[in-house]
């Protein structure tokens, strides 16, 4: 009965192979656009990666490649991960979108996840945070601690405009005369340029700084000049007295959830855009100088946003030119938020 | 016993070929200790550096693809450096090539013209040459230092690219993100090897190496370039025009860098982005010197640099920090350049030298 024996052997073999596969840790790759450093965008993604390692221990194995941005490198690195048995790959920068989409099409059995983009596929999920919710909250803090804000901004894309507008709205909700000015520096990371822009804003007399760039340079500028700053990611170690609070991206819960799905075999593509309610956004601890009543107000608003009782862009939303963008009592849809291309009332200067 | 370097009368043949091997060997030993010191298996790490990137069809294709821009720009620079023309701005000429080529690709986006990619490459070359003409003009007309002018123009080119992808060339359906549309199929460089990203532009590599060898060793122009580099006075006395050499060097490198830029955006990248090159134009300067300004040397140096660039990504996947990966790359380059000293000098013990000269 050679046939049956072969069948049994094959069955046994399959079973063993299955068991071995189950014991093999799931390999997860992360592609970072900048160096991890000790603060900023990539640092916060890496905290998420560490959370995955902590949550799953031996069941996962993670790896990352830093400093991969635009150009031909991204596709090679993503593909390298895919062909080395990685089962789940995260691309954490907008510039990874098209390379990732191309590789994903060639590896249909691997789960790909891309942050901040808009191209989705059956094995390519996209995810992003509603950072504007936390921006609104840090804006409130700025509005109660000063009368004007200077923003060191990167590129005039909807994500950044939402952030500038949300901070301004938050500040003006508690301080109606609050104004915001913006310096665009066309980079996500350039400590020298960030510092120059921050100094220029402080020379113009702004009370509070904010930034969309990755280094702690803006925080250091505020610290050196005795002014305040609301930071991107907890940078309190760089601004003992100046660092009021910060918006904090919390990628960990999402990374843990998606990893669990791959381990369970239930992963499927998704378009995730979550904020405070899903714990994907939060704010950093307040500085000692922030009074208790300010903290209470901000935390109360955070709870309202988390419970969907309040939307930072709910009407009336008035643009800089006086036109009404969202009527009283209405909440803008995601499409309007995703294509935001205007300043709200209170922001000075014109869009580049 | 103290050692001393004594100049050789003629470059040593043995050292010429032996020195790079010695440098690689020294780097491997250094890497072994380095990876051991940070708690990684040295053999796995070295394997990931030098073997893993090229032990598959795809790996090989990526190696050639990465070496392509380095070789072409390195060849152009080598010619200029031999003539003492210091074009440091190849990166900017590359960016202009990307802009010029990209603009053509986007202008013909809807037209479906077969062979658009050829127009893209030609536009890229012309744009790169035009950009290179600025420092050439400033040097020949006003005697402005071309190192400074070509370098500064990189930043201008970078801003220009940023301005265009945020404005005129931005994808209207791209949610405001700074990027162009994906180029149409006709504008994309045809594939050379299916299943890889290696495109027909690679055919320029052997062609350019041959052409450069021919130019430098078989033509009067090559001879003039060489003489004006090594003895400007003699060249002037012989009636060789220094200005012509400056123009030739700049236009050649600008054209090559421009075509490289166009082939990057019409090749592996497939669209215009604010960041296109990981610094090929700068790395090509190292390539030119590492290759001792000779065509075959540039070819070898470009492939070595491409290998350690990809290897550096690979070892990161093993958990080697990027700083260590870059340190290792740096040590290799320093060792290679330092070993060159053995070609022109020999090492002798001080005692013997003293007796000999006494």
Q: What is the pLDDT of residues B232-253, one digit of tens each?
A: 888 888 888 889 999 999 999 9
| Chain A, nearest residue to B165 by Cα | A155
Q: Which of A22-31, A111-120, A213-222, B199-208 has the weakest average pLDDT?
A: A22-31
CA-closest candidate to residue A166, choices A314, A1, A16? A314
Q: Which of A13-22, A266-275, B11-20 has the weakest average pLDDT?
A: A13-22
Is B322 in CB contact (< 8 Å) with chain A? Answer: yes
Residue A297, both tokens = 């107000």
| Chain B, nearest residue to A106 by Cα | B195
Q: CATH 3.40.50.2300: does it fit domain A2-129?
A: yes
Would you give the distance in Å from CA B157 to the centre of its chain? 18
Residue-wise pLDDT for B330-351, tens only, equals 898 899 888 888 888 888 887 6
Q: Closest Cα of chain A to B112: distance in Å?
A: 22
Please report which helix (H) or strand (E) contains residue A181, including its range: strand A179-184
How far is A153 from A27, CA to CA, in rounded Å? 36
For the segment A184-205, the average pLDDT, to the nearest whole number, is: 94
pLDDT greater than 70 at residue B1: no
For the segment A99-105, the average pLDDT, to the nearest whole number, is: 95
How far is A232 from A83, CA to CA, in rounded Å? 35
Q: What confidence score (pLDDT) does residue B358 get?
A: 38
How far is A142 from B212, CA to CA, in rounded Å? 62
Residue found by looking up tokens 């470059």 in the block = B11
CA-closest candidate to residue B286, choices B252, B318, B332? B332
Residues of A in contact with B66 (CB under 8 A): 72
Task: Kindly give, in sequence order, each residue whose CB lies less than 8 Å from that of residue B97, ignoring residues fewer than 6 positions away.
Answer: B124, B125, B127, B128, B257, B258, B259, B260, B261, B262
CA-closest candidate to residue B272, choices B337, B349, B181, B342? B181
| 3-state SS, residue A197 | helix
- Nearest neighbour of A80 by CB, restricted to B267, B269, B313: B313
Residue-wise pLDDT for A124-141, tens only, equals 999 999 999 999 999 999
Give the residues across from A209 on adjacent strands: A150, A229
Cβ of B317 and A341 within 8 Å?
no
Domain boundaries, chain A: 2-129, 131-249+281-338
Return the ∠ at Cα A72 (arms to A68 and A76), rounded to 5°: 75
Residue-wise pLDDT for A281-293, tens only, equals 999 999 999 999 9
Residue-wise pLDDT for B160-202, tens only, equals 999 999 889 999 888 778 899 999 999 999 999 888 999 999 9
Query: Where are the extended beta strands (E) located within chain B?
Result: 3-7, 345-349
CA-closest candidate to residue A222, choices A194, A181, A247? A194
Choice between B256 and B49, residue whose per-residue pLDDT is larger: B256
Q: Closest Cα of chain A to B322: distance in Å?
A: 7
Query: A108: which DSSP letter?
Result: T
For the segment A242-269, the average pLDDT, to the nearest whole number, is: 96
Instruction: Please answer whether residues A88 and A113 qualify as being in contact, where contact means their C-beta atoms are separated by less than 8 angstroms.
Output: yes
Interface test with A, best of B95, B98, B176 (most A CBs within 10 A): B176
Q: Closest Cα of chain A to B175: distance in Å?
A: 6
How far is A158 from A155, CA to CA, in rounded Å? 9
Cβ of B278 and A65 within 8 Å?
no
| Chain A, nearest residue to B311 by Cα | A77
Interface test with B, best of A65, A66, A72 (most B CBs within 10 A): A72
Angle between helices B57-82 and B242-264 (to 10 degrees): 160
Is B26 in CB contact (< 8 Å) with chain A? Answer: no
Long-range interactions of A258-261: CB distance < 8 A, separation 24+: A258/A88, A258/A111, A258/A113, A258/A125, A259/A26, A259/A28, A259/A52, A259/A55, A259/A56, A259/A60, A259/A88
Mapped to the 3 state alphabet, what secondary structure does B331-344 carry? HHHHHHHHHCHHHH
pLDDT greater than 60 at residue B354: no
The alpha-helical segments, DSSP class H, found in B86-145 are 90-107, 116-142
Residue A72, both tokens = 């031909």
Residue B37, both tokens = 């010191």
pLDDT greater than 60 at residue B64: yes
Q: Give B353's pLDDT tier (boundaries 50, 70, 90).
A: low
Residue B351, both tokens = 């005692």
Q: Give B297's pLDDT tier (boundaries 50, 70, 90).
A: very high
CA-closest candidate to residue A122, choices A105, A137, A138? A105
- In B134-163, the residues whose Cβ lies within 8 Å of chain A are 159, 162
- Nearest neighbour of B276 by CB, restricted to A71, A98, A158: A71
Residues of A in contact with B276 (CB under 8 A): 70-71
The share of chain B scoring above pLDDT 70, in percent, equals 97
Is B226 in CB contact (< 8 Å) with chain A? Answer: no
Instruction: Please answer whether residues A75 and A106 qualify as being in contact, where contact means their C-beta atoms are separated by less than 8 angstroms.
Output: no
Q: What confidence score (pLDDT) does residue B114 get?
A: 92
- Interface predicted TM-score of the whole assembly (ipTM), two decimals: 0.84
| 3-state SS, residue B56 | coil
Q: What's the number of CA atoms in the CB half-sphere (13 Å) around residue B144?
A: 15
pLDDT greater than 60 at residue A14: no
Q: Give B356's pLDDT tier (boundaries 50, 70, 90).
A: very low
pLDDT greater than 60 at residue A6: no
Q: Give A12's pLDDT tier (boundaries 50, 70, 90).
A: very low
Residues of B in contact with A157 (CB under 8 A): 175-178
Domain boundaries, chain B: 71-303
Q: Closest Cα of chain B to A278: distance in Å?
A: 25
CA dihedral A99, A101, A103, A104 (to 10 degrees): 160
For the segment A78-98, the average pLDDT, to the nearest whole number, is: 94
How far is B114 from B186, CA to CA, in rounded Å? 6
Is B354 in CB contact (< 8 Å) with chain A? Answer: no
Residues of B in contact with A73 (CB under 8 A): 278, 313
pLDDT greater than 70 at residue B352: no
Task: Kindly give, in sequence order, each residue whose CB lies less than 8 Å from that of residue B99, ignoring residues fewer than 6 positions away.
Answer: B127, B157, B160, B161, B164, B261, B272
Q: Give A8's pLDDT tier (boundaries 50, 70, 90).
A: very low
Instruction: Please answer whether residues A252 and A283 qualify as being in contact, where contact means their C-beta atoms are separated by less than 8 angstroms.
Output: no
Q: Closest Cα of chain A to B135: distance in Å?
A: 26
How far is B146 from A76, CA to CA, in rounded Å? 35
Residue found by looking up tokens 């990374």 in the block = A255
- In B27-46, the residues whose Cβ lies within 8 Å of chain A are none
Instruction: Please answer whether residues B96 and B133 qualify as being in contact, where contact means their C-beta atoms are separated by less than 8 angstroms.
Output: no
| Chain A, nearest residue to B318 by Cα | A63
Look at strands A26-31 and A88-91 and give their pairing.
parallel
Is B51 in CB contact (< 8 Å) with chain A? Answer: no
CA-closest candidate to residue A29, choices B316, B139, B31? B316
Residue B104, both tokens = 């053509």
Return the ∠ at Cα A161 (arms to A330 and A243), rounded to 5°: 105
A2-129 against A131-249+281-338: fold identical: yes
The share of chain A scoring above pLDDT 70, in percent, equals 94
Residues of A in contact with B310 (CB under 8 A): 76
Superfamily of domain A131-249+281-338: Response regulator (3.40.50.2300)
Residues of A in contact with B58 (CB under 8 A): 79, 83
Q: Give B134's pLDDT tier (boundaries 50, 70, 90).
A: very high
pLDDT greater than 90 at residue B205: yes
Q: Answer whether the bond into residue A300 is a cis peptide, omega within 30°.
A: no
Model pTM?
0.86
For the segment B53-72, the average pLDDT, to the nearest whole number, is: 94
Cβ of B166 and A352 within 8 Å?
yes
Residues of B in contact with A339 (CB under 8 A): 175-176
Q: What confidence score (pLDDT) does residue A20 get?
A: 40
Query: B55: which DSSP letter?
Result: S
- In B77-136, the residues whose Cβ lies within 8 Å of chain A are none
Q: What confidence score (pLDDT) does residue A53 get?
A: 97
Is B170 in CB contact (< 8 Å) with chain A? Answer: no
């Amino acid at each position: 009965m050679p046939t049956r024996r072969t069948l049994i052997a094959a069955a046994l073999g399959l079973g063993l192979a299955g068991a071995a596969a189950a014991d093999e840790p799931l390999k997860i790759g992360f592609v970072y656009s900048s160096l991890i450093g000790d603060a900023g965008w990539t640092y916060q993604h890496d905290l998420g990666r560490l959370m995955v390692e902590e949550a799953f221990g031996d069941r996962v194995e993670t790896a990352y490649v830093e400093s991969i941005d635009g150009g031909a490198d991204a596709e090679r690195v993503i593909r390298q991960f895919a062909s080395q048995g990685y089962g789940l790959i995260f691309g954490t920068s907008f510039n990874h979108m098209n390379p990732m989409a191309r590789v994903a099409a060639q590896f249909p059995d691997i789960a790909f996840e891309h942050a901040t983009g808009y191209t989705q596929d059956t094995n390519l999920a996209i995810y992003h945070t509603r950072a504007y919710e936390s921006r609104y909250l840090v804006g409130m803090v700025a509005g109660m601690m000063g009368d004007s804000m200077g923003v060191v901004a990167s590129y005039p894309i909807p994500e950044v405009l939402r952030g500038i507008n949300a901070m301004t709205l938050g500040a003006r909700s508690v301080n109606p005369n609050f104004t915001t000015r913006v310096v665009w520096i066309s980079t996500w990371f350039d400590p020298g340029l960030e510092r120059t822009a921050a100094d220029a804003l402080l020379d113009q007399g702004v009370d509070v700084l904010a930034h969309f760039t990755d280094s702690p340079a803006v925080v250091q500028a505020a610290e050196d000049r005795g002014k305040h700053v609301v930071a991107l990611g907890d940078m309190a170690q760089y601004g003992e007295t100046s660092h009021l609070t910060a918006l904090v991206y919390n990628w960990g819960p999402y990374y843990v959830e998606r990893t669990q799905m791959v381990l369970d075999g239930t992963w499927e593509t998704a378009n995730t855009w979550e904020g405070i309610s899903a714990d994907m956004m939060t704010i950093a601890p307040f500085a000692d100088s922030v009074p208790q009543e300010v903290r209470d107000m901000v935390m109360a608003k955070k709870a309202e946003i988390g419970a969907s009782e309040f939307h930072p862009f709910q009407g009336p939303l008035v643009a800089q030119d006086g036109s009404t963008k969202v009527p009283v009592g209405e909440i803008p849809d995601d499409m309007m938020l995703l294509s935001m291309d205007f300043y709200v009332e209170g922001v000075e200067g014109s869009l580049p | 016993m103290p050692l001393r370097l004594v100049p050789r009368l003629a470059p040593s043949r043995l050292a010429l070929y032996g020195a790079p091997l010695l440098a690689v060997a020294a780097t491997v030993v250094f890497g072994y200790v380095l990876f051991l010191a940070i708690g990684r298996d040295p053999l796995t790490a070295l394997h990931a550096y030098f073997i893993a990137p090229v032990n598959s069809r795809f790996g090989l294709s990526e190696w050639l693809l990465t070496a392509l821009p380095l070789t072409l720009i390195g060849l152009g620079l080598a010619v200029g450096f031999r003539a003492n023309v210091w074009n440091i701005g190849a990166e900017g000429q590359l960016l202009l090539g990307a802009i010029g080529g990209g603009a053509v690709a986007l202008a013909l986006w809807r037209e479906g013209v077969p062979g658009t990619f050829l127009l893209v490459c030609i536009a890229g070359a012309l744009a790169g040459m035009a950009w290179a003409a600025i420092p050439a003009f400033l040097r020949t007309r006003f005697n402005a230092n071309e190192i400074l002018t070509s370098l500064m123009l990189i930043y201008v080119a970078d801003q220009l690219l940023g301005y265009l992808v945020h404005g005129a060339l931005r994808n209207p359906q791209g949610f405001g993100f700074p990027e162009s549309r994906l180029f149409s199929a006709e504008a994309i460089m045809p594939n050379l090897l299916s299943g890889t990203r290696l495109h027909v532009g690679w055919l320029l590599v052997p062609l350019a190496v041959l052409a450069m060898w021919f130019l430098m060793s078989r033509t009067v122009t090559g001879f003039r370039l060489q003489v004006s580099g090594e003895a400007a006075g003699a060249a002037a006395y012989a009636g060789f025009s220094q200005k012509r050499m400056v123009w030739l060097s700049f236009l050649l490198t600008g054209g090559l860098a421009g075509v490289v830029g166009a082939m990057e955006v019409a090749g592996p990248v497939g669209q215009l982005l604010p960041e296109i090159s990981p610094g090929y134009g700068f790395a090509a300067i190292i390539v030119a010197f590492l290759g001792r300004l000779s065509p075959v040397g540039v070819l070898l140096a470009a492939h070595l640099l491409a290998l350690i660039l990809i290897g550096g990504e690979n070892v990161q996947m093993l958990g080697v920090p990027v700083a260590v990966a870059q340190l290792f790359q740096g040590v290799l380059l320093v060792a290679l350049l330092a070993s060159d000293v053995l070609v022109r000098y020999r090492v002798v013990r001080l005692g013997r030298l003293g007796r000999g000269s006494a």
